[in-house]
Chains A and B, each alone.
Chain A
């Protein structure tokens, strides 16, 4: 089975200053594989500063990894040239967080759809281009006559975000990187955008990497989840297992902080330790905030294989056998139990 995308020990370090340069590890040794013929939805979750967006930027080829390689269909993305590069640009698409900022206010929204058609020569005649636009808009639940020819400010946030999804869809991508696609959209429209994304995966065979801090939506659309904290993988596995029985203290904190819209599930009463600026770069990155921190935590814990589809990087689970970081993908189910 061919790999669509492969991350091999990817790390990203940002440094600032010329003399006495300070460096911040944004992403530490991530290895990950997505298979070509098994479209899935994978969530990357974590709070601000956990390295989620850095991962998105790396996958899109906007920044290069400090160490490690990102392989897209057998080729390192930093060395892609000519047609390969064009193909990569077409096949890997993004939907960003802010549905307001991606539009140029001086153009009608058609611009966002016609530019990629021209750029990638998707249509031979204007009529064909128009047909493709209509098809893509219909696929995301918009009526073309409602939105085409309008200016961005005349549309709602939800409509704009769906046009972004439509633009991605137009290019028939293989991989969609969705970086917080619903965090700025009204709750009543979230459902329809998430549904659009899920249909994209189910009906069009597009793999989606869903980047978010919102575990509620992650739970609803994803099959697998990777929880990041300060660039390190804290927990990974099947989304149901991880959210229903989180094993890492950090995942527990995240799950406890979800404002569930039910009256029976309240926020936990434990006080939260504030995150320290900087923090130490050795050992478990969460240990300064962890209520269960031990002496041992000063060395980096490996991923412990707790269940078949769940692993956590925490010494609390040291009775289980450890699993090498590059085998992370084995923990991530492609399909949820319901579909399997």
Chain B
């Protein structure tokens, strides 16, 4: 991480609320972070913690009853939230790309892979000749280790890992500066998972993009990302470098998450996190983690903690660190 580098992505105070029949659910609560070019950030949390909502909000793809209530998503100084709908459509894929969860279901089963790639280029108003566009698509396929013959194939002719790589190829076609990968490997086996992650790593270097990897597999995070952000009920509770996170997590939830991980030393020891993630409709008062927290204090039950910067560049949202800031 270059300290002098200007961040390519700056998310500030992003808020998303879902208006449901049973009440308002705040899915993203005051989320802020920055990302440098070429950096890899891991976004972890339990199901329902708001990881995927964050990805969709950054793409401005939140659908009703959800609504982006406020905040900014700036890429290279341009606030995506302020763009017109058409400009935002152009920005998707060319500035910020999204690799969805479950690639099996995101390709059109009745058109060839090639035409889906060409479509992506054409819809961004690129008027190159047919041959040039085709060459660009074939190069994208090659860069994700796929045979150029895939261009003429249908999705059902490909394996899960190959389809996932097609989605990555579409994601990098227009050389975006930010790539969001939402659990790109959750349906794949370990060997294919490793191949796909190595592919993402390589293409990221080629186009010097920043990558946000969303998932709940801490092992994958340890292997792949530079920094880890932990989400809990819509808030970022800790953002640290991978090394700091795994050796000395500061937030109690992050600490519980790290100690629940299986490794070679603690065979047969199962340590889950007690309790269940709260429903966003009925969040506990104060810090929403306090009913499950091992270090709970009186203040946690009444006052919402603020995000503070501790130990250099780490962000933590916890009352334990009130004095340090």
* Chain A residues engaging chain B, CB cutoff 8 angstroms: 47-48, 156-157, 159, 186-192, 194-195, 198, 213-217, 219-221, 240, 243-244, 253-254, 256-263, 265-267, 272, 274-275, 277, 336, 338
Contact = CB atoms under 8 A, between A and B. Distances in A.
Interface stretch (B171-179, B258-266, B311-319): B258-266
A259 B222 contact: yes
Given A186-B47, A262-B222, A263-B243, A213 B189 contact: yes
Interface stretch (B8-16, B125-133, B134-142, B267-275): B267-275
Contacts of B242: 263
A260 B246 CA distance: 12
A258 B145 contact: no
A161 to B, nearest CB: 12
Interface stretch (B56-64, B74-82, B192-200): B192-200
Contacts of A188: 46, 216, 256-257, 260, 272-273
Contact of A263 (B159, B160, B246, B262): B246
Interface centre among B48, B271, B272, B273 (most CB of A within 10 A): B272
A340 to B, nearest CB: 14
B246 A219 contact: no
B105 interface: no
A213 B189 CA distance: 6
A187 B190 contact: no
Contacts of B191: 47, 253-254, 257, 272
> What 6 pairs between A and B have smallest CB-CB spacing?
A259-B219, A191-B272, A47-B189, A195-B270, A213-B189, A191-B270
Nearest to A250: B191
Interface residues of B, number: 44
Contacts of B47: 156-157, 186
A257 B47 CA distance: 25
Interface string B239-251: 0001100110000
A157 B262 CA distance: 20
B160 A261 contact: no
A220 B270 contact: yes
A48 B48 CA distance: 28
A244 B145 CA distance: 31
Interface in B146-195: 159-160, 188-195
Contact of A186 (B46, B159, B256, B271): B46
A259 B220 contact: yes
A257 B190 contact: yes
B131 to A, nearest CB: 28
A261 B216 CA distance: 12
12 contacts: A187-B218, A188-B46, A191-B260, A198-B268, A244-B264, A254-B190, A257-B193, A258-B219, A262-B263, A263-B246, A274-B145, A275-B159
Nearest to A47: B189
Contacts of A262: 222, 246, 263
A263 B222 contact: yes
Contacts of B263: 216, 260-262
A156 B49 CA distance: 13
Contacts of B190: 47, 213-215, 254, 257-259
A187 B264 contact: no
B217 interface: yes
Nearest to A46: B189
Contacts of B160: 48
B84 interface: no
Interface centre among A215, A221, A259 (most CB of B within 10 A): A259
B325 interface: no
B264 A272 contact: no
A216 B190 CA distance: 10
B110 interface: no
Nearest to B275: A188
Contacts of B256: 188
A261 B258 CA distance: 8
A257 B197 CA distance: 11
B3 interface: no
B222 A187 contact: no
Nearest to B48: A156
Nearest to A185: B47
A220 B262 contact: yes
B144 to A, nearest CB: 12
A217 B195 contact: no
B5 interface: no
B108 to A, nearest CB: 22
